[in-house]
Amino acid sequence: MKETNTTGFSAAGLRRLHDVLAAHVESGKIPGLVALISRDGRTHVEALGTMRHDGGAAMRRDTLFRMASTSKPVTTAAAMVLLDECRLRLDDPVDEWLPELADRRVLRRPDGPLTDTVPARRSITVRDLLTSTFGLGMDFDLLTAPIRAAVFEKTDYSVASGPAPDQDEWMRRLGELPLSYQPGERWQYDLSNEVLGVLVSRVAGSSLEAFLRERVLDPLGMRDTGFHVPAARIDRLPPLYGPDPGTGEFLLWDAAAGGRVSAPPAFQGAGGGLVSTADDYHAYFRMLLNGGVHEGTRILSRAAVALMTTNCLTPEQQSARDAMYRGIAHLSCGQGLHGGWGFGMAVRTYRGGYAPVGQFGWDGGSGTSAYADPVNRLTGILLTQVGMSTLDSPRLAADFWTTVYQALGD
């Protein structure tokens, strides 16, 4: 299925985009996908393949997808609302709201024993959480370190490990751990976003979802976005698959009915918990491209959007991030090699592919990709139900972006 209003794209480029996406589906490795590209308000949508790997219902434009880490750019907006309202300040310590993270101890060596620590040189700040530099997180240099195993045991709630406890218990567990680096010292992936979601909830005095819905999702018309799928919409959610890396067999990571997102979670994970649609994400990224305004309503200040979408890392932090992603490029087809990081998303600081400097957005391990490009006034959303256990969905994403940029009209 195609839906098109395509001024700003070339007809030949759109045909090539369709053919490339269709080839991935016809290969049998990607059961289905929804792709949306938009430029200056003109959109083109492809909905190809089926919801299940063995056939069944066709993909539709309003199919719901688990956004995984592509949740980060959206949930971060809730914190930006609080910054705009001066209810949070970038360089304030978070101790008042997150006492579990006060008086931190830091490992003397990041790969050392958990008992060999020194006092933190300073408190963790709001900025540290927004830039993923608070001292803990995924770090491929520490995969075999004791701190990595301890963080996984205390805080993980992935497909393999089961649901998380409520946010207060989750924070209590996190507070038992030392930091692997001093606050502000090193960029580390993911965990900061989860902590940021708890901070928003406590400052707002409501659940993260309630505040996000009131201040961001509802004003943008993102009615299909949330932390679970109501029963009345569950037929729009495909299963989530993780192909076996050796055989390619489709392994079920999460079912639709009765699965992980079929009921409200105890912990609303800001780092990867959202379910959404291509059109909802289009509304969000279009708002960012428009300086924080959606159809005449201001959602975020222009300055807040600029902060989110500008590289905020020091040269030392950026070097560590680059080194981490270069080390896994064989798994990610270059994803993550953007250079910079803003608030909750990557920001491209050098031209390493078809996209220009300034492009911002992120990818998700469930086979999702969402970016906006202010140079070309372009938004692209690619959603699948195939997790990144093999190269298939990263290669699809790479081919999507390659052909999107070929489709731009002169």
pLDDT at 227: 97
Q: How confident is the model at residue 5 (pLDDT cuts 50, 70, 90)?
A: low
Question: Is residue 154 within 8 Å of residue 174, measured between CB atoms?
Answer: yes
Read off the pTM.
0.95
Question: Is residue 392 within 8 Å of residue 243, measured between CB atoms?
Answer: yes
Using one digit for the tens of pLDDT, what is the confidence trace for 177-215? 999 999 999 999 999 999 999 999 999 999 999 999 999
Q: How confident is the model at residue 337 (pLDDT cuts 50, 70, 90)?
A: confident
- The single residue listed with the structure tokens 């008992």 is 115
Q: How confident is the model at residue 144 (pLDDT cuts 50, 70, 90)?
A: confident
> What residues pair up with 106 in beta bridges, in sequence order?
118, 179
Amino acid at 373: D
Q: How confident is the model at residue 332 (pLDDT cuts 50, 70, 90)?
A: low
Using CA atoms, how far apart are residues 311 and 106, in angstroms rounded to an integer? 26
Asked whether residue 1 carries a pLDDT value surpassing 90, the answer given is no
pLDDT at 11: 94
Asked whether residue 6 carries a pLDDT value surpassing 60, the answer given is no
Look over the chain and give the mean of its residue pLDDT values, rounded to a whole number: 93
Using CA atoms, how far apart are residues 306 and 136, in angstroms rounded to an integer? 26
Q: 9 by DSSP, 3-state: which?
A: strand
Higher local confidence (pLDDT), 352 or 5: 352
Counting residues of the chain whose pLDDT is more than 90, the rounded percentage is 84
Using CB atoms within 10 Å of the CB of residue 233, give its burial: 0 to 12 exposed, 13 to 18 middle, 19+ buried.
Answer: middle
Counting residues of the chain whose pLDDT is more than 70, the rounded percentage is 95
Asked whether residue 312 carries a pLDDT value surpassing 60, the answer given is yes
Q: How confident is the model at residue 291 (pLDDT cuts 50, 70, 90)?
A: very high
